[in-house]
Amino acid sequence: MSIERSTKIYLAGHLGLAGSALHRALRAAGFDNLVLRSHAELELTDQRAVRRFFAAERPEVVLLAAAKVGGILANDRYPADFIHQNLAVQVNVIEEAWRAGARKLLFLGSSCVYPRACPQPIKEDYLLTGPLETTNRAYAVAKIAGIEMCWSYNRQHGAQFLAVMPTNLFGPGDNYDLESSHVLPALIRKAHEAKATGRAELVVWGSGNPRREFLYSDEMADACVFLLSLSGERYASLVRPEAPPLLNIGCGTDITIRELAQMVCKVVGFRGALRFDASKPDGVPQKLLDVTRLAALGWQARLPLQEGISRAYANFLEVLRAAEKDAAKLTG
Ligand code: GDP
């Protein structure tokens, strides 16, 4: 049976980039029995608090979008935070969801779980077939543990836990901090500031040659709601005990970081030059997910990248204006 609109769904991490998109998508699809807790209300690394919460709420479906995330530099600098917080959140939420009787769980991973030197595009079957990229290894190992947990609960307990691996996401509510963000929000901010201050150039980290795939967060959320709404039989085929319950979510095409920077500059209207800073890491040479399985189920991304970047930039400007208003109120 597919899930009903009245199903009680706990969305963990509803204020983050992925989680806020899921929140919008669930509401738009008519799911109105949502359980939500901010980080301040529920500390997901606290096992006792999580157990109490699940025992009281008993959600039927759980979406685990809460995670400690960051870009290449943050992952490289704070590996202990990334592995510890993500493992703790996953162990608590997955175990307690099962104890409290959740029928389904959707665990959000990341495309960095796959080996560094994978053939491209990356098929789900490539999981654990080679060494990982070093810059985000701690985060990747935590996410791989999450996939393994979903699979183990399916095998041992007959659960229906599915691990989805979204490609690089961007969109409303993104992190625009230049030190800890991912490349796309960083470039949006850099291009905006370079334009606003009349600078002649914009600094892009690394060589500009790595290839990445980008998906607007609302599209990822649409894919997740699509998966949750599959008929019982089709959903069950994704979580069979014989194989890891793993599904890629991407748009199926990638571009170089250089091309991406050019596209961002075009959207923002910055006409200066790009300068490449080779002292910063490139990370994996290419990361493009194979989305054949998702496409076979009937879902496909639709939003062109440039349109997604325009929407993200509009959101960036809104956030900026709101922050400027607040600052004016404080000084006024
Ligand atoms: P990754 O996909 O895990 O490597 O994470 P990122 O999104 O942080 O970086 C993707 C690629 O963009 C890497 O090759 C970075 O070096 C490159 N990049 C170029 N400029 C920037 C920037 O300003 N910030 C970030 N985070 N990455 C950048």
The string of pLDDT tens digits covering residues 296-309 is 999 999 999 999 99
> Which of 17, 72, 279, 288 to probe ligand 1 with, by most ligand atoms within 8 A of CB?
72
Q: Is the confidence at residue 118, as pLDDT, over 60?
A: yes
Distance between CA atoms of 61 and 3, rounded to whole angstroms? 9
Closest among 263, 172, 262, 249 to 215, alpha carbons compared: 249
Residue 65 pLDDT > 70, yes or no?
yes
- Contact yes or no for 210/284 (Cβ under 8 A): yes
Whether residue 331 is predicted with pLDDT greater than 90 in this model: the reply is: no
Written as six digits, the tokens of 25 are 């998508």
Report the pLDDT value the prediction gives residue 326, as an integer from 0 to 100: 87
* Average predicted confidence (pLDDT) for the chain: 96
Reply yes or no on whether the pLDDT at 95 is more than 60.
yes
**What lines the ligand 1 site, CB under 6 Å?**
71-72, 112, 136, 168, 181-183, 186-187, 204-206, 210, 212, 257, 280-283
**What pLDDT, in 10s, does the model give residues 26-52?**
999 999 999 999 999 999 999 999 999
Task: Place 328 in a pLDDT band, splitting at 50, 70 and 90.
Answer: confident
Please report the pLDDT score of residue 1 as a whole number: 56
- Give 3's pLDDT tier (boundaries 50, 70, 90): confident
Question: Is residue 202's pLDDT more than 70?
Answer: yes
- Averaged pLDDT for residues 84-109: 98
- Residues of the chain above pLDDT 90, percent: 95
- Label residue 332 by pLDDT band (50, 70, 90): low
Distances (CA, A) of 88 to 45, 83, 93: 5, 8, 8
- Over range 52-59, report the average pLDDT: 98
Q: How far is the CA of 72 from the centre of ligand 1 (A)?
A: 6
State yes or no: pLDDT of 2 exceeds 90. no
Distance CA 251, CA 258 (A): 19
By the 8 A CB rule, do 130 and 115 touch?
yes
Atom of ligand 1 nearest to the CA of 71: 8
> Tens of pLDDT along 203-234?
999 999 999 999 999 999 999 999 999 999 99
pTM value is 0.96
Is residue 260 over pLDDT 70?
yes
* Site to substitute for ligand 1 among 205, 212, 262, 268, most atoms within 8 A of C-beta: 205
* Distance (Å) from CA 51 to ligand 1 centroid: 37
pLDDT at residue 330 greater than cutoff 80: no
Residues 146-174: b if buried by 16+ CB within 10 A, e if exposed: bbebbbebbeeeebbbbbbbbbbbbbbbb
| pLDDT-based confidence at residue 81 (cuts at 50, 70, 90) | very high
Active site residue 10: no
Distance 71 CA to ligand 1 centre (A): 6
User: Tokens at residue 127, please?
Assistant: 């999981």
pLDDT bracket for residue 158 (50, 70, 90):
very high
Does the structure show a pLDDT above 90 at 103?
Answer: yes
pLDDT at 248 over 90: yes
